[in-house]
Amino acid sequence: MELSYIINELGEEREHYFNAVAPPVIQSSNFALRTVAEFRRKMQRETEEYLYSRGNNPTVTILEKKMAALEGAEHALAFSSGIAAIAAAVLSQVNAGDHVVSVRHPYHWADSLMRKFLPRFGVEVSMVDGTDIASYREAIKPNTKLLYLESPNSFTFELQDLGAVAVLAKEHNCTTIIDNSFASPLHQHPLKLGIDLVVHSCTKYIGGHSDVMGGVVCGAREMINKIFMREYMTLGAVLSPHDAWLFIRGLRTLPVRMERVAASARQVIAYLEQHPKVERVLFPFLASHPQHDLALQQMSNNSGQFSILLKAKSLEEVERFCDSLQHFLMAASWGGHESLIFPVAATYASEEHISTLPFNLVRFYVGLEDPDYLIKDLEQALSKI
């Protein structure tokens, strides 16, 4: 299916709403039935029908159809946040007594789900170095049901070999789930490489304007329908019709935004890489990166995120650099129009605080501004250390 068709037409039945180019927001919790027979029939096919919006809603369906097609999936289910989508997908695959193998250092609340939440319900989790397929293999036990991936992963942008993990999972009868938010559905297609379920924080690139939160799970119809009838309906973290509408609007410009952030990030990185106050740039698309070949093999382009290790001797020096930036905003999240930094230093409560990430690591997201404007800002902030 062509990208332009998915983004501009798929799922939209304009003849049903006056040929309006933008779809309607069907802001209704409820859908009326005309007969008992119709009510009965629809209740028996709840995964397909419009009965109640904590189930299906026509505006949300348009988004789900587009997201499924972008990922090459049979079906998709939209949630009220990325972490709600991740939690529902993970919970759908495990029972008490099961074991999960997860990449080390996934996004913070996925990490919390693995290390703090699942063990409360009798699910054991091993966190492994995702750069080495052997570490996934060695961690698998007879009761392992799920291999969890996030590639590139948060803050350090290390990759997992998606194809190799998928083969390993099939050998051991395990399901695979990947958080594909960083690559976006345009730059990496995990289902084609054998991964079973793909999740996104739509809050990031899909929305693209830092004004809406949501998530999605994409995969085979049978797996998605199972999530619908269990985690989706019982936990209830559904997306509102208006938020779905904002994501549909965000999707219209996704390819141009991704092209822009990819090119601008490369320009900003080229500047930072040669700067004497930058120790290292963590970005798998650099020729010097140990996983450069894998990046080229499983991703079609970079996104706007990378990290740097500053040549700073103290937390104070890192803080001085970050506080001096005037156009990169300091914030969580990424994927919007605005360029951002997230300094690991902000997670250090004191000089003695031990974090698994170095104090001089600063995560960057390059947004839609002119890259020269951003480079000038970096230049003046780097001159302060």
Contact window for ligand PLP (CB under 6 A) among 88-96, 137-145, 178-186, 250-258:
178-186
Residue 360 binds ligand PLP, judged by CB under 6 A: no
Residue 179 binds ligand PLP, judged by CB under 6 A: yes
Residue 215 binds ligand PLP, judged by CB under 6 A: yes
Residue 106 preceded by cis peptide, ω within 30: no
Q: Among residue numbers 306 through 345, which ones bind ligand PLP (CB under 6 A)? A: 333
d(CA 182, CA 118): 24
Q: Cβ–Cβ contacts within 10 Å for residue 47, how many?
A: 17
Which residue is listed with tokens 């904002």? 246
Site string for ligand PLP, 137-176 (x = CB under 6 A): -----------------x----------------------
Of 335 and 381, CB closest to ligand PLP: 335
Single-letter amino acid, residue 281:
V
Q: Which of 82, 208, 304, 367 binds ligand PLP (CB under 6 A)?
A: 82
Contact 306, 261 (CB under 8 A): no
Contact window for ligand PLP (CB under 6 A) among 30-38, 127-135, 179-187, 251-259:
179-187
State in angstroms the smallest separation of the CB of 213 from ligand PLP.
Answer: 5
Which residue is listed with tokens 């109640």? 52
State in angstroms the smallest separation of the CB of 82 from ligand PLP.
Answer: 2
d(CA 244, CA 213): 9
Q: What are phi and psi for residue 364, nearest 5 degrees?
A: -115, 145
Q: Which of 76, 213, 217, 246 binds ligand PLP (CB under 6 A)?
A: 213
d(CA 237, CA 231): 9
d(CA 208, CA 368): 10
Contact window for ligand PLP (CB under 6 A) among 81-89, 234-242, 352-360, 364-372:
81-89
And the tokens for 287? Answer: 């020729």
Q: Which residues are at the interface with ligand PLP (CB under 6 A)?
A: 81-83, 107, 154, 179, 181-182, 201, 203, 213, 215, 333
